[in-house]
Amino acid sequence: LFRSSKLRWVHTWAAGPDAALYPEMMASPVVLTSSVGNGAIPLAEHSILLMSMLNRDAPRWFRAQAEHRWDRFTHGELNGLTLGIFGLGNSGADLAIKAQAFHMRVLGMRRHADRPVQGVDQLYRPDQLHQFLAECDFVVVTAPATAETRGIFDTAAFRAMKPSAYWICISRGGIANDEALLRALRERWIAGAGLDAQGQEPLPPDSPFWTLDNVIITPHNGATTAATAQRGVEYFIENLGRFVRGEPLVNVVDKTAGY
């Protein structure tokens, strides 16, 4: 790729630039931009979907429907529950606003906890992770996979959560230690999980996550909408115009930070 001495800019259609951060790109002066933010809206919607399905035990209805059984039971509601958003980028910020519409209390964790975020009732710093987790009925991970976040949800983190709480990941796999997550689900340290992002993708057919009755799995599909693709095109067109005019580009990736 970098045999061309005139190459100055590369754009990745993905919101997460992970695949583009190979050694040659990291070592080069080429500017890398991404489509970050293009899937924020559907990912926030997908988070609400998974929270509602887990909270109401929707798989129980699906099983009853498949068996032609009329199965009525008392289930939960999101109203009044506490949502913790781990990572307050585009999708996390949009989720906070949507969760407020469901009358939820919203907590957020970000590196810069001194900057208020619309829809977030209280912000926590990374060094307050366990305190943050102990408050939540739902923990939704919207953060990128970086050196700082990989494996941060370990045994101690899942132990810090309420036994009645749910863990949802819509951004990137690997932020949870899979062995710790599997044990937390099997031994009911937490109530369940909604997994759109997996540590290994595609999730292998023999993965034990498939068979757990307290897990809902979607195949990294939360942002697969026509509007997501269109927003990605619009970001590229905006940057193409800026590049031609010699103006600063938007969505420039910090190669060191990884996003």
Residues recognised as catalytic: 172, 201, 220
> Which residues, at least 6 apart from 58, have a Cβ–Cβ distance to it below 8 Å?
52, 216
Tell me the mean pLDDT in the region 42-48.
98
The answer to whether 174 and 148 are in contact (CB under 8 A) is: no
Q: 239 pLDDT band (50/70/90 cuts)?
A: very high
Q: 144 pLDDT band (50/70/90 cuts)?
A: very high
Rounded to whole angstroms, the Cα distance separating 190 from 73 reads: 21
> Which residues, at least 6 apart from 128, have a Cβ–Cβ distance to it below 8 Å?
109
Question: Pairing state of beta strands 31-33 and 9-11?
Answer: parallel
What digits encode the pLDDT tens for the residues 210-237?
Answer: 999 999 999 999 999 999 999 999 999 9
Q: Among the residues of the chain, which ranges form H helices?
A: 23-27, 40-55, 58-66, 90-101, 129-134, 155-160, 178-186, 226-245
What digits encode the pLDDT tens for the residues 249-259?
Answer: 999 999 998 88
Least confident segment among 1-10, 102-111, 167-176, 225-234:
1-10
No. of helices (H) and no. of strands (E), the chain: 8, 9
Q: Is 184 left (phi over 0), alpha (psi -120 to 50) or beta?
A: alpha
- Helix or strand or coil: residue 234? helix
What digits encode the pLDDT tens for the residues 71-96?
Answer: 999 999 999 999 999 999 999 999 99
The answer to whether 57 and 243 are in contact (CB under 8 A) is: no
Return the pLDDT at 34.
96
Return the pLDDT at 6.
86
* Residue 1 predicted with pLDDT over 60: no
Rounded to whole angstroms, the Cα distance separating 249 from 239 reads: 6
Return the pLDDT at 3.
66
For all residues of the chain together, what is the average pLDDT? 95
> Which residues, at least 6 apart from 46, have a Cβ–Cβ distance to it below 8 Å?
170, 196, 218, 222, 223
Tell me the mean pLDDT in the region 51-59.
98
Return the pLDDT at 111.
86
